[in-house]
Amino acid sequence: MSNHALMWFRRDLRLNDNLALQAVAESGATIVPIFVLDPAILKSPNTGASRLSFLLKALRALDEALQRHGSRLWVAHGDPALVLAHLVERFDATALYFNHDYSPYARQRDRSITEALSIPVYGFDDGTLNTPGTIMKDDGEPYIVFSPFKRKWQTLERRPVAAGYLDTARFYHFDTDVPPVPDLSDLGFAPTMATPPADEATATNYLNTFMAGAVYHYGESRNRLVAEPWHYERPGSSYLSPYLRLGMLSPRQAYWAARKAYEQADSKDARKSVESYVSELVWREFYMHILYHYPRVLHSNFRAEYNLMAWVHQPEQLQAWKDGRTGYPVVDAAMRQLKAIGWMPNRARMIVGSFLTKDLLIDWREGERHFMQWLIDGDPAANNGGWQWVAGTGTDAQPYFRIFNPVSQSQRHDPEGEYICHWIPELRDVPTQFIHTPWEMDQPPVGYPQPIIDHHFARQRAIDAHKAVKDTK
């Protein structure tokens, strides 16, 4: 009788510190590495060519890594339940291993597959530092405010980085042709942009580079508007989110590297900056926790009173926002960056989110969907949490009267207009004194639009709309 086990890779595209892979290796079974391209996900309106391109690149890299172990990654395309049943029979598998995904769709899918298969199925909590559902208030209810969640999280132990199991892992040696990783065109998508390297070695290198220096300035630099990411010479973001999203980097690797950096910090400010980065990891955990307990947030306001919110239906303004043609330079630069490279700094995400939901008073779900279509680090939990936070509809949300002024935000975080000029060529000849307000020039730049809305009018309109919701409680 064979002792083959299927290792179903999903959001864990790495060989190191992979809890499911560690478990199957330690079981002594021969590991059959597989990945399933699910049509239900591919056809979702939230799936865009940019993140899919990044995923396919990561799958090719994982396949190459497995070849160094004498194996391959078997990539199948179809309904996971049908595909897995077929692969169990094809490889005479005696068990299925995977790491949990906490999206509502994935949880239901995994329950159905576990019930349908005739072999043991083993799932592992690999994608978070602490398993969703285990961080609860004393009364047994889930936390819905970040600060007490973080305080409870800080009291818990963290699993160490797993090591050593690859030395004894036995991978399956395929004696037949392995299906190749498809191209975007094979899946019905047109290429949209060049994506960054997508492999475990690059992710590890970025983590090490960040922790060697830039993390000590993160508290201040994370708000910089960075035109070209993945350059650590000028501190900015960690740039690790796409690698955490697809699991080329584990949250444990990021957390323990930060702990080491904290211990090596040579000043109070440096330690505070490391703490700021760890806090971002906790926000990631918090939003997964919220999605786990309240899956309805993917389709509705967390705060039910906002179901009465009088959102404005303005297709032309929505399209101008998507295209980076609002007339507000910092907003337009960020939206053009998104379409060019599939990423934007966190500060830019807050600015454009506030502009859409407060200045234009457009439903946050429009922005959430657009981000998921374009961001290579688009994550359902974090993306939803961020949009509901900035819109004021979510748990522990930004106060409704806190409305970002796109001009002052631009002046504060891009004072010389470097970010703006990088992404908006129409403004490269504009003097610095007008780079944030080009409409104030005697002769506004040719080809660049006037503001589509007056911010001061929009701010008061948003406050009035939110007050109307408050008055219904």
**Active-site residues: which are they?**
280, 283, 311, 346, 364, 387
Please tell me whether residue 209 adopts helix, strand or coil conformation.
Answer: helix
- Cβ neighbours of 419 (radius 10 Å): 27
Could you tell me if 223 and 413 are in contact, meaning their C-beta atoms sit under 8 angstroms apart?
Answer: yes
**Phi/psi of residue 95, nearest 5 degrees:** -165, 155
> How far is Cα 195 from Cα 187, in angstroms, rounded to an integer?
17
**Contacts by 113-118 with C-beta closer than 8 Å and gap 24+?**
113/80, 113/81, 113/84, 116/81, 116/85, 117/84, 117/85, 117/88, 118/88
Q: How many Cα atoms within 13 Å fall on the side-chain side of residue 438?
A: 26
> How far is Cα 353 from Cα 297, in angstroms, rounded to an integer?
17
Would you call 138 exposed, middle or buried from its count of C-beta atoms within 10 A (0-12, 13-18, 19+)?
exposed
Q: How many residues does the chain have?
A: 473
